Structure formats: structure tokens, C-alpha cells
Amino acid sequence: MIIHYGYTNGSGEYYISIDTEKCNGCGKCIENCPQQALELGYVIVDLEEKLVATVSEKYRREIKYTCSPCKPENGKAPCVLVCDKDAISCTWRARRGNMTT
Amino acid sequence: MCKIETRKREADAYWRWPEYHGIVPGRDWKDADILTGGIDVGSVSSKAVIMTDGEVYSWGILRTGSNSADSAKKVLDWTLEGTGLKPEKIASIVGTGYGRVNVPMANKAITEIACHAKGANHIWGPTVRTILDVGGQDVKAISCDETGRVTSFLMNDKCAAGTGRGMEVFADLLKIPIEEVGEVSLTVDEEPEPVSSTCVVFAKSEAVGLLYAGWSKEKVLAAYMRAMAIRMCELVKRIGVKKDFVITGGQSKNVGIVTRIESILGVKRLPVADWKETGLDPMAAGAIGAALFAEALYSKSLKQ
């Protein structure tokens, strides 16, 4: 299951996506996140709980600001680079022109 | 015909949608081997479903109060009303939704994402691949496989744009009963430009401006719904629209939103024509999924 954390709003789209099948909960991304925006959490896969990396609840609604120092628009944020399971990816697209609300 | 009871609303509360509950005919809980329940405490509405051997027996929908635990209890009582069934008889209950951790009678809490996919799979069958759930305060887009297992999802709970609560605000502003806003919005001769603000608060003030500028209520409503539908479609496009496509949550009953989503995505959603007879209510998809999980967990515990 791929969980897309983030949102699309008038200014663009901002998502950190985690593949819970690929993630083994090793925690390397968490150690390497300069913003401390990631943590381990349980998700339900086939009635079993699995411990995987998640974006912390408190940062989910402000991910655009929390994650921007890592320049995710290049697709090379530390969390993405450090994951040898290829379980994290990011989508970062600022919308041009229409920047209202 | 299923026995459905609806509560009346006060004359001027246009936003207040009717609360209801129903019992599916031809099923008796006394004949069932396993009785399970699902309780979905959402931000705006609370839904409960009682299942007899994995089929909907009765269901109910109420407005959520300020306390999740109270709302869970009330909606369960509302769903059991007239059945003669006591809550103690229910073997297993799963809580879901925004207030899931505060469902005191639940044996387990499961996220609404998993429950919605499971519920949609039960309502429409194994061909469902994409689910758009428009709730009271958030919008979720879910992809699932033929077993109802979630393959990817995303949720927008950052703001109320394109949610049921936003629609309530507009029903009140325009003084049109919430059950009629969809029909009314489709009476315009030509679809107007969508309102430019996606934020409900800004959209409301923009709408007031349009009314002053001489726009009809219908046209304002159409412009608002268009903007909200565009917003919801952005979410679905992110996970990819694969057929069969379905809409769950309260807004699945809003024909104004549904029609616009279909035209923007170029895909028809699978309808549920006979939910009043079968209890397969798309608004209760999360609770249906929860009751199915309760059954699976209970059956599993028997084997161990």
C-alpha cells in the first residue's frame, strides 16, 4: 500500500509517499530527516499491524513548509536517498501563476 | 421495501440533513451464527451497521455530537432500535473514522481508509478499483485491489474545501435544504465559471458578492459545486482513476457534485440504486467495512 502524505492546494502539490510493502521499518529515514518529520507507526496490512515509517501527524498538514528545506522538488531529499528499499518518494510541484488562497 | 425512519428537521435549519435508520427485510438476527458491528464516528456524521453473518442487517446515521464516545453509543442504540437486539449479543465491534479511538464498545479500531475499501468492495463487488470518499471534513482517494485491499491512498484533511461541511455552509447561506442543493445546482442553463476560491471561508464571501452582483442562487451554487468537484478530482487524479470508480460518504448523495465529478473525470461512477432495500448505503461504507473486519477478526479468534 502506498500512502501519500501531504496535500494539493492553490499553491501546488506536496506529497511524501511511503510504500508500506517495501518499507521494513529500519528507521534510517527517520535518523536522517533534518526536520524530524518522520516516525515509526503501525499500519494495518491484511488484519496484521506492521511497523513502518510515517510522516508525523503534526506535520502532515504543513508538509510544504516542513519539508521544503530539503528541496524535495529535486526528488533527492535525504529520506529518499537513504532508503535502500526504495520505499519513499516525493512529489513537489509549485503551481505557477494562480497563487491565490 | 425496507423500514426506514427519518427524523424531522426544524423549519429554518437548511444545513441539517435528515438522520435515519433502517432494517433490511428478510433477515433475522436470531437466525444468525455471527453478529458483528461497525461504528464509524466521522467528524460530521456517525454511522453504525449491524451484520448477520457478513450481511447488513440494520444501519443508522446520526449527526456526531461534541463527544465521540457519546456519539458512538447513540448511533449504536439508534441502529438497534426496533430490532429487539441487545448490544451484548454482538460478538465483535470495530470502530473506525475520525473518532475511532473513542468508541468504548469497540474491540478494535481500524483506520477508515481500510474500512472504506473493504466496504466499497462489499457494496459494489470486486471490480471496484478507485474510491472517492467525500466526508464531512475531509476527502479521501483510495485505490484498491479485487479483495478490497488498499493499494494506495491519499487524504486531504487540511481544509474543508470540497467536503460535506462546506456544502452545509452553502445550503444555509442560500437557504436551500441540503438534500436539494444538488438538484438545484443542475437547473442552470449553462455551467458558470467555478468560484475562484477553493477555501470555504473565502468561497462563502465570494458567493455573497456574486449574489449582490445579481447572480441567481442556482448559478452561485453551480459555480461553487464546480470548484469543489474540480478540487476533489485533483485528489483522485493523483492516485489515478481506474474503473470501476465509486463515490462514498455523504456527498455520494449529492447529484450536483456527482454529475460534475463524472464530467470532469470522464468516468461514470457505479451507482447504488437499491440501497434502501439492501442496506448497502454508500454513506455507511466505512461502517460496513468495519463490521466486515469485526467478522473477520472474530472468525480468526475462534480458529486460534
pTM of the model: 0.89
Structure ipTM over 0.95, yes or no: no
B194 falls within a domain: yes
pLDDT band at B98 (very low <50, low <70, confident <90, very high): confident
Task: Mark whether B119 and B244 lie in a shared domain.
Answer: no
Q: Is B102 part of a structural domain of the chain?
A: yes
* C-alpha count within 13 angstroms, C-beta hemisphere, residue B240: 8
B69 found inside a domain = yes
- What is the pLDDT at residue A93? 87
Do B179 and B163 fall within a single domain?
yes
* B109 in a structural domain: yes
Contact A8 B156 (CB under 8 A): yes
**How many distinct helices (H) and strands (E) make up chain B?**
9, 11
Nearest CA in chain A to B239: A4
Considering the domain architecture, whether residues B187 and B220 belong to the same structural domain is answered as yes
**CB–CB contact B151 A6 (8 Å):** no
Q: Cβ separation of A100 and B197 shorter than 8 Å?
A: yes
Of B52, B59, B54, B65, residue with least CA distance to B23:
B59
Q: Are A4 and A15 contacting, i.e. CB atoms less than 8 angstroms apart?
A: yes
Give the whole-angstrom CA distance, residue B250 versus residue B276.
15
Structural domain for B204, as ranges: 128-265
The Cα–Cα gap between B147 and B173 comes to 42
Is B156 in contact with A2 (Cβ distance < 8 A)?
Answer: no
Residue B157 and residue B57 share a domain: no
Partner residue opposite A101 with nearest CB, options B152, B199, B239: B199
How far, CA to CA in Å, does B257 sit from each of A58, B225, B228?
Answer: 31, 6, 8
Radius of gyration of chain A (CA): 14
Does B174 share its domain with B78?
no
Same-domain check for residues B188 and B207: yes
**B64 lies in the same domain as B93:** yes
- Inter-chain CB proximity B199 and A47 less than 8 Å: no
Residue range B149-167: average pLDDT? Answer: 82
What's the CA gap between B112 and B93, in Å, rounded? 14
Range ranked top by mean pLDDT from A58-72, B163-177, B228-242, B279-293: B279-293
How far is B116 from chain A, CA to nearest CA, in Å? 13
Question: Is the model's pLDDT at A101 over the cut of 50?
Answer: no
User: Does the distance separating the beta carbons of A1 and B151 come in below 8 Å?
Assistant: yes
Residue B270 domain flag = no
Asked which of A41-45, A77-81, B184-188 is least confident by mean pLDDT, the reply is A41-45
- Decide if A96 touches B, using CB distance below 8 A: no
Q: Are B81 and B187 within one domain? A: no
Task: Give how many domains chain B has, as a whole number.
Answer: 2
Bridge partner residues of A5 (DSSP): A16
Can you tell me the mean pLDDT for A30-58? 89
Residue B9 lies in a domain: yes
- B278 to chain A, any CB pair closer than 8 A? The answer is no
Answer whether residue B206 is part of any domain. yes
Q: Note whether residue B98 is domain-resident.
A: yes
Q: Do A3 and B154 touch (CB under 8 A)?
A: yes
Q: Which of A5, A7, A88 to mutate to test the interface with B (most CBs of B within 10 A)?
A: A7
Residue B153, domain CATH: 3.30.420.40
Question: Are B100 and B209 in a shared domain?
Answer: no
Q: Do B220 and B156 have their domain in common?
A: yes
* CB contact B237 to A (< 8 Å): no
Domain identity same for B158 and B206: yes
Cβ–Cβ below 8 Å for A8 and B239: no
- Together in a domain, B77 and B154: no
**Chain B residues in contact with A8 (beta carbon < 8 A):** 156, 234-235, 238
Report the percent of chain B where pLDDT is more than 90.
59
